[in-house]
């Protein structure tokens, strides 16, 4: 390949590599921490609005749904509630999580849950939100306990993980 032929080839290769690197992976972030004022454990699921809108048509079996509607946000909150679980490993009992609601915040949809604190010292967790619809979906859970953050990552065929 001559130099004049090589330059356009390298330019295309550069732009293709840049586009590949700029592609955001589908991922969610869940934070779990104690609210000092209420004594409750607050759980906030942060999901990318674009990922949710892609999945929403399959979840609700209707391609016309939009996250701009309260009904769609409520349906999404119910969907997440069914796919996020915490179990107390000391006795095998599920931790009862109360669904608070959801809201659209710029390019994220937030789903709120809470439970009475504190969390048990040994627990198992499962986070399947969007993972059955978007195979590349990764859900990261950050748990703040006693000023220390512990992290669980759920991807591919992960099920229960111990903390």
Q: Tell me the mean pLDDT in the region 21-44.
A: 87
Element containing residue 27 per DSSP (H, E): strand 27-34
Q: At what angle do helices 49-60 and 70-81 cross, to 10 degrees?
A: 80
Residue-range domain boundaries for the chain:
25-162
Kindly state the percentage of the chain with pLDDT values over 70.
Answer: 84
Q: What is the pLDDT of residue 58?
A: 78
Please give the residue that has the higher pLDDT: either 89 or 16: 89
| Candidate from 17-21, 24-28, 56-60 with smallest mean pLDDT | 17-21
CA angle in degrees (0–180, nearest 5) for 34-35-41: 45
pLDDT score of 105 more than 90? yes
- Pairing of β 123-127 and β 148-155: unpaired
Half-sphere exposure of residue 133, counting CA atoms within 13 Å on the CB side? 18
Q: How far apart are CA 96 and CA 83, in angstroms?
A: 13
CB-based burial, 66-100: b 16+ in 10 Å, e otherwise: ebeeeebbebbbebbbebbebbeeeeeeebeeebe
Q: What is the pLDDT of residue 23?
A: 52
Q: Tell me the mean pLDDT in the region 127-134.
A: 94
Indicate yes or no: pTM above 0.85.
no
Q: What is the pLDDT of residue 19?
A: 44
């Amino acid at each position: 390949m001559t130099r004049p032929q090589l330059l356009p080839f390298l330019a295309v290769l550069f732009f293709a590599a840049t586009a590949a690197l700029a592609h955001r992976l589908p991922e969610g972030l869940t934070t779990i921490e104690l609210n000092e004022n209420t004594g409750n454990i607050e759980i906030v699921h942060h999901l990318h609005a674009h990922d949710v809108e892609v999945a929403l048509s399959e979840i609700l079996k209707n391609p016309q749904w939009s996250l701009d509607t309260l009904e769609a946000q409520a349906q999404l909150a119910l969907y997440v509630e069914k796919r996020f679980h915490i179990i107390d490993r000391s006795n095998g009992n599920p931790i009862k999580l109360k669904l608070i609601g959801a809201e659209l915040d710029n390019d994220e949809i937030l789903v709120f849950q809470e439970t009475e604190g504190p969390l048990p010292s040994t627990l198992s967790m499962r986070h399947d939100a969007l993972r059955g619809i978007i195979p590349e979906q990764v859900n990261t859970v950050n748990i703040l306990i006693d000023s220390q953050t512990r992290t669980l990552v759920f991807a591919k065929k992960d099920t229960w993980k111990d903390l």
